[in-house]
Structure 1
Amino acid sequence: MSAIKKPSRTLAGIAGIVAVATLISKVFGLVRQQAIAAAFGVGAAANAYSYAYILPGFLLILLGGINGPFHSAVVSVLAKRGKEEAAPIVETITTIVGAALLLVTIATTIFAEPLINLVAPGLSDTSGVGSLTKAIAIQQLQIMAPMALFAGLIGIGFATLNAADQYWLPSISPLFSSITVIGGIAVLAMQLGHKITLPEYAILGGQVLAVGTLAGAFLQWLVQVVAQWRAGLGTLRLRFDFQHPGVRETIRLMGPATFSSGMMHINVYTDLFFASFIPKAAAALSYAGLLVQTPLGIISNVLLVPFLPIFSRLAAPEDWPELKVRIRQGLILTALTMLPLGAIMVSLSVPIVRVVYERGAFDRDASKLVASLLVAYGIGMFFYLGRDVLVRVFYGLGDGDTPFRISVFNIFLKALLNFIFVQPFGAPGLVLSTMGVNLTSMVMLLWCLNRKLNGLPWREWGIPLIWLTAGSAIAGVTSWGTNWGLQQILGSEGLLIQLLQLSVAGLVGLCLFAVFAIQLKLPEVDIFVSRIRQRFFRGSKG
């Protein structure tokens, strides 16, 4: 029996391919968001898109994303079987998933208005801009409904190609959505030679965003399925081999994994539910979130991905002393990156937003709104990634139930904190509530680990984190002071001047933090430097 794939690449080489492709996709994603900001600001088209995209985007991330349930289930099944079994399994799974998601597509199209009412009830209680936003969102959701079908097919194709040792194309394919949306906005700009009213522009812009997003998902699936055919791993043939052991195993893995992963995304819906009562909040959350998720995604891949296999190898009780050392390393490395980065985002939130977004329809008021959200995001960055480190520990120990139970509890906690924080803080309260959930998750996970591992060295872990927090605060204040001083000398207008001030102020803050961290003589500083050198200076050799 010939294997479906041969390990022709090293683990580091595969990680390098995925990292580069992910970086390229994220850069295009940022450019796409800049184009949306310039064209629509935080107006009705962009605000409506945030609501309309939640269901198609949720399915695309859940079903079509790397390490999602479809990807994980199909890879785990195909990797253990011969190539001659791949096509029957893939074609049968595609038939089952395609039929189910086709029904979801039809239902989404028919019930688009009730779904928007469910996601954004605040739009129903307003007139003028609110009613326009709701109408645009309904139309956008109907246009993007087929993404439910493409999401599942993309996830299956992604997994099939990975099982065949093909990583570049699946990892780079998400940029198609960015390209099509940018292209649609460019065409819209060229067609606006005649005068149209603001509502007409918003409606037309909403259509462009929805069609561009759907076209990107279609292209992402198309390039994957062509590569899949060429590799002999199945076609679009309908197959009903439901009793095949590989098919049954895949379905058995998909069900619980999809449910568990879906629980994590309910918090996004909770935020948009409350955001619908706050003007322009949904679009602002999207803009600020991308500024945070871009560095978070890159840093987590570079620093934390290698820890999961390490945690798994140290799961036996006799290895727990070493496991505790590795957990400390993960948390300190997270602090070394997230604390100073978060402090700088807090202190330089306004210039960051102005440099990235402020042009076209994205005006000074929009910058202030998004900057206020970026401040809240910056405060909670350490807790966001620290929680992920601890979840990886539980997975390494073979315990997926504890993180799942905590995530279920967090759904109710998130809703409660949103209710509490939105009234005094407005839109930033939505982000602060997320920080509260992540902080609570870390405390609960650490408490459970303390019991599971027969005690944790709290003092050994806590003191370095306190010092790193203090150093980050000093770095943030220094960055703010540097930026303020440069503004007194150079002014604050002009993209090049803003970029220069931002770069200098951020660099001064980071350098000060680096000097501070070195003085602490933490072994994790050496690990951090080593990881950076391996990833960016030695390529896949690391």
Structure 2
Amino acid sequence: MAQEKTSRSLVGIAGIVAAATLISKVFGLVRQQAIAAAFGLGPAADAFNYAYTIPGFLLILLGGINGPFYSAVVSVLSKRRKEEAAPLVETITTLIGGMLLVVAIFVVIFAPQMIDIFAPGLRLGHKDLVRAIAILQLQIMAPIALLAGLIGIGFGVLNAANQFWLPSISPLFSSITVIVGLGVLYLQLGEEKISSLEYAKLGGIVLAGGVLAGAVLQWLVQVIVQAKSGLGTLRLRFDFNQPGVRDVLKIMGPATFSSGMLQINLYTDLFFASLIPTIGVAAALNNASLLVQTPLGIISNMILVPLLPMFARLADPNNWDELKLRIRQGLLLSAFTMLPLGALMITLSVPIVRIVYEHGAFEERDSALVSSLLIANGIGMFVYLGRDVLVRVFYALGDGDTPFRISMINIFFNAVFDYLLIKPFGASGLVLATVTVNCSSVLMLLFLLNRRLNGLPLREWSLPFLGLIAASIIGGIASFANLEVCQHFLGKEGLLILLLELSVSGVVGIAIFGVIASWIRLPEVNVFVSRLSQRFLKK
């Protein structure tokens, strides 16, 4: 694998990942709509949100395409020959699989206690049914603890072998199996009359079973492709002393804890959110985060997935000059995509929220709260992605300890900033606290990376970043001004009117940003945009 030449360019890989991730996101939205259509906000759907907390966290943490298992495997396999891959992958799978099997059994046994810890309010008398369904769903989904780790390892193996399409699109399997399960449930029941209690319990089982079936399918497809590519099978290997195993664990362990710290920050935010008198703050935080994370997830995969193997192949000190260029490329592409998008999230927050959420029980006052949180999220979009780029550089250098230590420090900072900012800014203060912590992470990582790589041309890099920031601000102001003009003549009501105003204002903002950004003449951005345009136009 180390001796193989990359068969695809950065732009080609980014296009593959973006298309696959977009498809997965669309299916995820369809799945959510199917669940809402089947259960509304009834006990089955309500319980699923509590039960999925742990399996969903593990799928993101361990099985995510940018998770620590993926990062560790890519970092190590990218530096080794292909014939060394299969024994190493099988050994790692055996070791990690054994550990996670114990975790899955633990979840099955202690599911009631875990639900009570994460959702103590379900023990109230009128929520007994929700609690019972949630416990059953968590027990059904417990094997995901094992599958998540195996999926994460499979992501890394396939990406290190230059296979990007399957890992990027495979998360949609879970959405498909849930949708199919709900369809079967509808066909089976037909006109049959059953009680709401029975329907809730049966629906809860279908939801949990569909998610589990999707995880199993995702893992099996990866195993088949790995075996055909000669990258390992289901064979058990216990040669835990081989050097490659230690290299993987050296990165995987700290990286897992480092990524897991983000979940602690989430719980910290929810703790302080519960202290705000306004009802629905936690839901509003989730709604605003979803609007940011959807485009951020697509773009981050476009940038991070192809860059990590490149970082790993340039980890030798003799290649550090080129590594610095790749770091600059990753940061500039992050700024080029996230800064204008963040500016639009800030200036067009109200129509965005109204179009997406303001239907049925979601009222205008709810839109006001979510849009204020969306503004705070938009401010930090670039630092969120920039931090992930820098963390991947440390992983490629075989150093998972540094990001872990910084994450530990920022847990404390996040709690402090939550406490300080919630008083003057309310719910928005929780988001601003996260943005502040991400900014501190970027600064600390840059400082340490500057020392590690014998100096980075930070002053030279700062000029194009300042230019992109200025272009984003001007583009955002232009989009806001255009929105005000449109609303003056067309009004603020009606879905079609809102869509028209949002589309025109967004295009104006992006166009002005693009014109200014083109004057800056950044080689990385110009090449990226031209090749990406050619690829999609050709398709």
Deviation string 1:323-382 (CA, Å, 9 cap, x unpaired) is: 878766655544433222112112222322333344566565654444333222112112
Quick one: distance in 1 between partners of 2:367 and 2:461?
38
- State whether structure 2 residue 532 is matched by structure 1 residue 530: no
SS in 1 for 2:62: helix
- State whether structure 2 residue 408 is matched by structure 1 residue 375: no
Instruction: Indicate how the Cα distance of structure 1 residues 441 and 18 shifts in structure 2: closer, same or farther if over 3 A, else same.
Output: same
Instruction: Indicate how the Cα distance of structure 1 residues 348 and 113 shifts in structure 2: closer, same or farther if over 3 A, else same.
Output: farther
Find the counterpart in structure 1 of residue 269 from structure 2.
271
Find the counterpart in structure 1 of residue 336 from structure 2.
336
Quick one: distance in 2 between partners of 1:467 and 1:178?
41
Quick one: distance in 1 between partners of 2:223 and 2:319?
47
Amino acid at match of 2:178: V
Contact in 2 for aligned 1:177/1:217 (Cα 8 Å): yes
Find the counterpart in structure 1 of residue 114 from structure 2.
115
Offset, 1:195:
9.1
SS in 2 for 1:9: coil
Q: Could you say what the CA RMSD is over the residues aligned between the two structures, in angstroms?
A: 4.4
Deviation string 1:58-116 (CA, Å, 9 cap, x unpaired) is: 22123222343433444535973565x66655444444333322221121122223323
Deviation string 1:19-45 (CA, Å, 9 cap, x unpaired) is: 432332233234434555666777776
Offset, 1:176:
0.7
Moved more, 367-376 or 139-148: 367-376
**Pick from 212, 229, 244: which aligns with 1:214?**
212
Contact in 1 for aligned 2:345/2:374 (Cα 8 Å): yes
Contact in 2 for aligned 1:40/1:361 (Cα 8 Å): no
Find the counterpart in structure 2 of residue 101 from structure 1.
100
Find the counterpart in structure 1 of residue 169 from structure 2.
172
Quick one: distance in 2 between partners of 1:164 and 1:463?
36
SS in 2 for 1:440: helix
Deviation string 1:269-293 (CA, Å, 9 cap, x unpaired) is: 4334445667544444444323212
Q: Which residues of structure 1 form unaligned runs of 5+?
A: none
Deviation string 1:281-327 (CA, Å, 9 cap, x unpaired) is: 4444444323212322333344566766479859869977x987876
Contact in 2 for aligned 1:312/1:395 (Cα 8 Å): no
Quick one: distance in 2 between partners of 1:454 and 1:266?
34
Amino acid at match of 1:381: M
Contact in 2 for aligned 1:64/1:71 (Cα 8 Å): yes
Contact in 2 for aligned 1:50/1:286 (Cα 8 Å): no
Contact in 1 for aligned 2:373/2:428 (Cα 8 Å): yes
Amino acid at match of 2:438: N
Amino acid at match of 2:16: I
Find the counterpart in structure 2 of residue 298 from structure 1.
298
Instruction: Indicate how the Cα distance of structure 1 residues 312 and 275 shifts in structure 2: closer, same or farther if over 3 A, else same.
Output: farther
Offset, 1:148:
0.6
Moved more, 227-236 or 53-62: 227-236
Quick one: distance in 2 between partners of 1:218 and 1:473?
46
Taking structure 1 as the reference length, the TM-score comes to 0.79
Offset, 1:54:
2.9
Sequence identity (%): 61
Quick one: distance in 1 between partners of 2:54 and 2:140?
12
SS in 2 for 1:64: coil
Offset, 1:220:
0.9
- State whether structure 2 residue 52 is matched by structure 1 residue 53: yes
Quick one: distance in 2 between partners of 1:418 and 1:374?
17
**Pick from 140, 143, 154: which aligns with 1:146?**
143
Find the counterpart in structure 2 of residue 509 from structure 1.
509
Instruction: Indicate how the Cα distance of structure 1 residues 40 and 5 shifts in structure 2: closer, same or farther if over 3 A, else same.
Output: farther
Instruction: Indicate how the Cα distance of structure 1 residues 498 and 127 shifts in structure 2: closer, same or farther if over 3 A, else same.
Output: farther
Quick one: distance in 1 between partners of 2:291 and 2:439?
21
Moved more, 502-511 or 246-255: 246-255
- State whether structure 2 residue 426 is matched by structure 1 residue 443: no
Taking structure 2 as the reference length, the TM-score comes to 0.79
Contact in 2 for aligned 1:73/1:253 (Cα 8 Å): yes
Instruction: Indicate how the Cα distance of structure 1 residues 510 and 30 shifts in structure 2: closer, same or farther if over 3 A, else same.
Output: same
Q: How does 1:218-297 map to 2 (within 5 A)?
A: 218-231=216-229, 234-242=232-240, 250-251=248-249, 254-275=252-273, 279-297=279-297
Quick one: distance in 2 between partners of 1:219 and 1:318?
40
Find the counterpart in structure 1 of residue 67 from structure 2.
68
Quick one: distance in 1 between partners of 2:425 and 2:242?
55
Count of paired positions: 532
Quick one: distance in 2 between partners of 1:339 and 1:397?
28
Contact in 2 for aligned 1:51/1:282 (Cα 8 Å): no
Find the counterpart in structure 1 of residue 153 from structure 2.
156
Quick one: distance in 2 between partners of 1:252 and 1:230?
29
SS in 1 for 2:532: helix
Contact in 1 for aligned 2:284/2:369 (Cα 8 Å): yes
Instruction: Indicate how the Cα distance of structure 1 residues 74 and 511 shifts in structure 2: closer, same or farther if over 3 A, else same.
Output: closer
Moved more, 92-101 or 29-38: 29-38
Quick one: distance in 2 between partners of 1:5 and 1:312?
10
Find the counterpart in structure 1 of residue 27 from structure 2.
28
SS in 2 for 1:408: helix
Contact in 1 for aligned 2:255/2:403 (Cα 8 Å): no
Quick one: distance in 2 between partners of 1:7 and 1:245?
24
Contact in 2 for aligned 1:34/1:357 (Cα 8 Å): no
Contact in 2 for aligned 1:5/1:164 (Cα 8 Å): no
Deviation string 1:177-218 (CA, Å, 9 cap, x unpaired) is: 122233445566776979999988776665544333222112
Quick one: distance in 2 between partners of 1:67 and 1:165?
15
Moved more, 289-298 or 131-140: 131-140
